[in-house]
């Protein structure tokens, strides 16, 4: 089984609304990250989507997510390891894309909620990666703004 832990860190970009940096770390040393605007649940959704895309194949995949909404809807929604068709607060296009990626993957995908402060070692690593990326982005913005 492949286990992937995801995390999200937020920063406020002046005039641009809420910005989130998401990341994932698998338990074999791989990682990925990106940025998202909007809600933290959608940032978690992007992290799960990218982690599933990055782990194709038949081996079972377990994703730890900090989003209780995402994990609950995954497990309750269809009972077959897929999200409900409409989930309040989550981007429908991202949900559809995740559904397509999971459908094309030959192995099962499970999403588990990693509760608040109860972080696994890998969830903490993913959180560090997201926080570090947020800090770097803020420093770059500050440098560019002063030019």
| Each residue's pLDDT tens digit, 74-86 | 765 545 555 555 5
Percentage of residues of the chain with pLDDT beyond 90: 16
Provide the pairing of β-strand 2-13 with 61-65.
Answer: parallel
At residue 76, the pLDDT reads 57
**Residue 96 half-sphere exposure, CB side, CA atoms within 13 Å?**
3
pLDDT, tens only, 25-75: 998 888 888 888 788 888 888 999 999 999 999 999 999 888 888 777 776
Query: Exposed, middle or buried, 31 (CB in 10 Å: 0-12/13-18/19+)?
Result: middle
Strand partners, 64: 5, 112
Q: Which of 77, 4, 8 is nearest to 40 (CA)?
A: 8
Q: How far apart are CA 71 and CA 67, in angstroms?
A: 6
Q: What does the domain layout of the chain look like in residue ranges?
A: 2-138
140 vs 122: which has the higher pLDDT? 122
What is 2-138's CATH topology?
Nucleotidyltransferase; domain 5 (3.30.420)
Q: How confident is the model at residue 110 (pLDDT cuts 50, 70, 90)?
A: confident
Report pTM. 0.80
Q: With bands split at pLDDT 50, 70 and 90, how would you rate the model's confidence at 21?
A: confident
């Amino acid at each position: 089984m492949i286990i992937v832990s995801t995390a999200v860190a937020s920063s406020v970009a002046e005039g641009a609304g809420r910005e989130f940096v998401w990341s994932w770390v698998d338990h074999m040393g791989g990682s990925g990250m990106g940025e998202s605007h909007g809600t933290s649940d959608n940032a978690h959704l992007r992290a799960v989507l990218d982690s599933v895309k990055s782990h194709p194949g038949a081996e079972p995949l377990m994703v730890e997510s900090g989003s209780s909404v995402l994990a609950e809807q995954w497990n309750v929604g269809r009972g077959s390891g897929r999200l409900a068709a409409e989930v309040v607060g989550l981007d429908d296009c991202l949900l559809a894309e995740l559904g397509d990626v999971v459908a094309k993957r030959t192995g099962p995908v499970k999403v588990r909620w990693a509760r608040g402060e109860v972080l696994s070692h890998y969830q903490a690593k993913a959180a560090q990666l997201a926080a570090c990326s947020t800090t770097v982005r803020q420093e770059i913005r500050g440098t560019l703004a002063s030019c």
